[in-house]
Chains A and B, each alone.
Chain A
Amino acid sequence: MSVFVQYLVNGLTIGSFYALVALGYTMIYGIIRLINFAHGDLFMVGAFAGWLVVAAAAGMHLPVAMQLLLALLIAMLAVGLLAMGIERVAYQPLLKSSRLSILITALGVSLALENGAMIAFGAGFDTFPANILPLTGFHLFGAQVGYVQVAMFALALLLMVGLYLFVQFTPVGTAMRALSFDQDAARLMGINVEGVVLITFLLGGSLAAASGVMMGLYYTQINFMMGFLMGLRAFTAAVLGGIGNIPGAMVGGLLIGVLQSLSAGYISSQWQDVIVFAVLILVLVFKPTGIFGERVVERM
């Protein structure tokens, strides 16, 4: 029992990181029908941005809490702007072309980000300062729960709820839902479609960056390829929840995190991705619309 709870706690923690990235996948797919393969790499850039800020802030002898807050905010802003820039330069000119050209462009952007990071930061691992986070915690049903895990989960949840409220209750959020359904009709409402798409990338990019900073702090090691696997897992989470569906991405992310943690614990960590991607295949075969998806996905 205590072992199971332990796996569950660990799984929910990393699952909340997946969920934040999955949200970006699902929002961008929902709005322009693009599987943004570069999205996982934005998560990686976010981790490096956070790492740079922590290093700089530590050099200025700022308190740890301030270092972490700055790292989070600056990384979110920087990666959000980066995502907007990518959309404007690489995707927007192709929105009216075939789906395939924009998909291939996304792969190209992914490679550019990965290799750019490798040139900038090297091919090895960089580490966050040891012991930057407290290691204390408490016991729950015999499992060890770190305060850090609780804080990260709470922060991820806060961001997700914030996003949900934004999309559900603000005019711009309503515009996002509207134009995911019918772009021309949205234009006739006076909605600047290109502008709303940019805002979507800004939000998706910042959430990915928040996830990157937290993941980097949680595992302490970061690397230029860390976005690749994250991208695949978060994509699986988005599909599991129902691509295009925001609550679906949240639930899907948590489920994938727990599934991965349980398979690593009870079977073998070498098998965890096999199991995660087997789930992707099963979902695609038996319920391609995912847990929450009802609308049949009409085009690629």
Chain B
Amino acid sequence: MALLEVQDLHTFYGSIEALKGISFQVDEGEIVALLGSNGAGKTTTLRSISGLERARSGSVRFAGQEIQRTAAHRIVQLGLGHVPEGRRIFVNLTVEENLMLGGYLLRRTPHEVQLRRDEVFERLPRLLERRHQLAGTLSGGEQQMLAIGRALITRPRLLALDEPSMGLAPILVQAIFHTIAEIRKSGTAILLVEQNARQALRLADRGYVLETGSIVLQDDAKALAENRRVQAAYLGGEPEVAL
């Protein structure tokens, strides 16, 4: 059964229809890539799922429950984590405080939060070295690691990642993708929005291609990577192939 099932979702910014009825799904333990150029609606899709944006119509079901009208902080509680575009860590707080906020829902069991924080430190040792620093003083890669680590504390069943490799040096991109693979191994499904389509498709099981608010292609990751339209538009392939 699908863990996340989105059906005919329409989201508007004022009178502009940013999502024109998209449908897709993510199964338990899967990595699904969401590809598309700037302005195609990838970020809007994630924001509509996690409750930061209110879709006008359509349905979002998570773990069998309709969440399209559920408040964002309750959706997190259900086990759907979202690492937003641009990381959005709290730069005015320390690394440790950022992680503690990741465990905000578990605040009545501080011992559990500490346990899980230590797990994150184990997985991302750079954060341990810098735990008392203000998050704003971290490098871009470290900030991204913090954003992901912070979302992992609740042990989400599905983690939505918005452009995790954006603005990072190639070696850090490798590290981020490695981390994502590790997260999947622990049983968390991943919905991955990426500009770096080549990397994303290498990691993903399946993928969807968004264009101006609609899903125009969907297939196995491998098939998408070999698709000429995808190659032309997102993988820097033959330019003469018409879209």
Contacts and interface: CB of A to CB of B under 8 A. Distances in A.
Interface of A: 171-172, 174-175, 177-178, 181-182, 184-193, 295
B73 A193 contact: yes
A187 B73 contact: yes
Contacts of B72: 184, 187-188
Contact of B93 (A172, A178, A193): A178
B76 interface: yes
Interface-centre pick from B81, B83, B91, B101 (highest chain A CB count, 10 A): B101
Contacts of B93: 174, 177-178, 181
Most B-side CB within 10 Å, residue of A172, A184, A188: A188
A181 B52 contact: no
A189 B101 CA distance: 6
B21 interface: no
Contacts of A188: 50, 52, 72, 76, 81-84, 88, 151
Nearest to B76: A190
Contacts, number: 70
B100 A185 contact: no
A248 B91 CA distance: 20
B4 to A, nearest CB: 16
B114 interface: no
A202 B27 CA distance: 44
A185 B82 CA distance: 9
Interface residues of B, number: 28
B143 to A, nearest CB: 12
B107 interface: yes
B104 A189 contact: yes
* A contact patch SS: helix
A184 B88 contact: yes
Most chain A Cβ neighbours within 10 Å, of B90, B100, B151: B90
Contact of A187 (B52, B90, B102): B52
Contacts of B81: 188
16 contacts: A171-B101, A172-B107, A174-B93, A175-B101, A177-B92, A177-B97, A181-B93, A184-B52, A184-B72, A185-B88, A185-B89, A187-B51, A188-B88, A189-B73, A190-B77, A192-B73
A184 to B, nearest CB: 5
Contacts of A189: 73, 76, 101-102, 104-105, 150
A294 B180 CA distance: 36
Interface string B188-205: 000000000000000000
A163 B72 CA distance: 28
B154 interface: yes
B73 A191 contact: yes
Interface in B56-98: 71-73, 76-77, 81-84, 88-93, 97
A181 B104 contact: no
A186 B92 CA distance: 13
A192 to B, nearest CB: 5
Contact of B90 (A171, A185, A192, A295): A185
A191 B88 contact: no
Nearest to B107: A171
Interface in B88-146: 88-93, 97, 100-102, 104-105, 107
A165 B90 CA distance: 19
B104 A171 contact: yes
Given A171-B107, A174-B100, A178-B93, A190 B154 contact: yes
A96 to B, nearest CB: 11
B53 to A, nearest CB: 10
Interface string B163-180: 000000000000000000
A184 B84 contact: yes
Contacts of A185: 84, 88-90
A191 B104 contact: yes
Nearest to B110: A171
A181 B91 CA distance: 8
A177 B102 CA distance: 14
Given A178-B93, A188-B52, A189-B105, 7 more contacts: A178-B97, A185-B84, A185-B89, A187-B76, A188-B81, A189-B76, A191-B104
